[in-house]
Amino acid sequence: MSELRDILHQRQHELASSLRHADEFDETAAIRSVKVHRRGRAIVMGSSSLAVVAAVAAGTWMLIGPGEPAIVPAGPPSPSVSATPSATPSPSVTPSPDPISYEGRNPDMSDEEALYRAEHPATGEVWLDEPVEVEAPVDVPWNDEGVTWYRVGSRGDVEIYSVEQAVFVGWTLLELAPDGTLTGVSSPRPSDPMPEWPNGVPDAQPYLDGVKESDVYYDSLALPSTWTSPEGLELTLGWGGAPVNLAWGMTNTEVGQAGNARVVRIATTTLGTQVPEGVSSTTLGYAIVDPNGQAFSLTAADPLGTRTSEVTLVDGRAVDPERRFIELSDGACAATPEWTTYVVGTTDDSWTEIGATARGPVYAPTAENTLARAVYDEWMSRRSNSGDYAVFGTVAPAFDEYLDLPAILAAPAPTADGWFVEIDRDLSIVAGC
């Protein structure tokens, strides 16, 4: 066996030397290639002498065969070529269908149409990568009312601007023609109905007063009808979302895409009481950010169904429809965004099914629910000074009475581990503003 190694070693150098003057020859690479083959053969040699001889014979033929390169490329073997190859038939050509064309406003737009318009806009708008703050390009009376102008894009030779109201958040799109004519774009999505306002322009479009209204819309702003959040909330998109200022200090994280719009999750952890260790309570809402930089809240998902249907308990009793269940933190002074409380970290045995809405089962906390205990303790401490215990009158309720009312309702998130939690407004610890 040692004699065979010596023969191979000598053959390695002879092969390298014989090819030294060949075109594009690299002696070092050639030696390295042969060594690689030798190393592979040496591994096989330890298990079978017969296999070694076969491998050596094959390897040597590959290296010294006429016309073969010094380094054999790796890869699957080339297919054999027939001496008289048959002609490959050309694929049949199927005429492509006529291109889809959508024009005009369509309040009944399907998701398919919306996504097609967003991907193939035919309305000529080009948006900047980021809005650019500018001085007011025209002199209008409301320039002194705390507004900020942004240049956001163009449509041919028409410049598109977005105007933001500083105090009460409001976005307005305006177009400025080369001749100085300013027009308002009150319904920029192709799925928006063109509004008719008999009593003037509403607060949502504060700076169209005195400006001629335009019927312009932008295909690139088309949206599907719904979007589903990571927790499984199905949220409504489209016309009528309230404007949102993403620079108000709350956490906002991009979590998805709808058409050409980004979807962001806006969150705060403020609850109004100390949250127990191991439990998190997040008040969250969602907004879409259009390519022009404007942000609008998504319509609340009503995760428990309490806003759209009554709560029926397992014993058949219906919870008083006058009672209003809201997100647990009850901290929103306005409707932007429309908040939902999402709780993570409570144990499975800390919730029990007590009834249902049209959307599905609803649950209440058990006595082991540490978050419900914290909320109850905080509510009691705030009420004890006045002696007014809301629906319980002047008598302080025990914890089990508070839970049995029910004061707190919940439903599991469809696609995540947490719970959506709501509370009777009269029993909340924040009670809005």
Distance in angstroms (rounded) separating the CA atoms of residues 402 and 392? 9
Q: Are 241 and 298 in contact (CB under 8 A)?
A: yes
List the one residue out of 370, 367, 357, 373 whose CA is nearest residue 410. 357
Identify whether the C-beta of residue 85 lies closer than 8 Å to the C-beta of residue 104. no
Instruction: Identify the weakest region by mean pLDDT among 35-44, 111-120, 170-179.
Output: 35-44
Token pair, residue 337, equals 């965004």
What pLDDT score does 168 carry?
57
Q: How far apart are CA 52 and CA 149, in angstroms?
A: 80
- Among 41-50, 105-114, 281-290, the range scoring the smallest mean pLDDT is 41-50
Can you give the pLDDT at residue 227?
93
Encode pLDDT of 209-244 as tens digits. Answer: 678 888 899 999 999 999 999 999 989 887 667 788
| C-alpha separations of 233 from 85, 206, 262, 296, 341 in Å | 60, 31, 17, 17, 12
Q: What is the pLDDT of residues 113-168, one digit of tens each?
A: 999 999 999 999 999 999 999 999 998 888 877 789 999 999 999 999 999 876 65
Domain residue limits, the chain: 2-64, 111-221, 226-427
Other Cβ atoms closer than 10 A to 44: 14
H/E/C letters for each residue in the chain? Answer: CHHHHHHHHHHHHHHHHHCCCCCCCCHHHHHHHHHHHHHHHHHHHCCCHHHHHHHHHHHHHHHHCCCCCCCCCCCCCCCCCCCCCCCCCCCCCCCCCCCCCCCCCCCCCCHHHHHHHHHCCCCCEEEEEEEEEECCCCCCHHHHCCEEEEEEEEECCEEEEEEEECCCCEEEEEEECCCCCEEEECCCCCCCCCCCCCCCCCCCCCCCCCCEEECCCCHHHCCCCEEECCCCCEEECCCCCCECCCCCCCEEEEEEEECCEEEEEEEECCCCCCCCCCCEEEEEEEEEECCCCCEEECECCCCCCCCCCCCEECCCCECCCCCCEEECCCCCCCCCCCCEEEEECCCHHHEEEEEEECCEEEEEECCCCHHHHHHHHHHHHHHCCCCCCHHHCCCCCCHHHHHHCCCEEEEECCCCCCEEEEEEHHHCCCCCC
Residues near 6 by beta carbon (within 8 Å), at least 6 away in sequence: none
Give the count of beta carbons closer than 10 Å to the beta carbon of residue 303.
27
Per-residue model confidence (pLDDT) at position 83: 38
Token pair belonging to 214: 């335009």
Confidence (pLDDT) at 249: 65
Give 325's pLDDT tier (boundaries 50, 70, 90): very high
Write down how long the chain is.
Answer: 433
Residue among 216, 141, 134, 202 at smallest CA distance from 174: 216
Angle made by CA atoms 299, 163, 267, in degrees to the nearest 5: 35
Cβ neighbours, 10 Å, residue 82:
7
The span from the CA of 154 to the CA of 179, in Å, is: 15
List pLDDT tens digits, range 244-295.
Answer: 878 766 788 999 999 999 999 998 888 889 999 999 999 998 999 999 999 9
Our CA dihedral for 330, 335, 337, 339, rounded to 10 degrees, sits at 30
| Peptide bond between residue 414 and the one before it cis (omega within 30 degrees of 0) | no
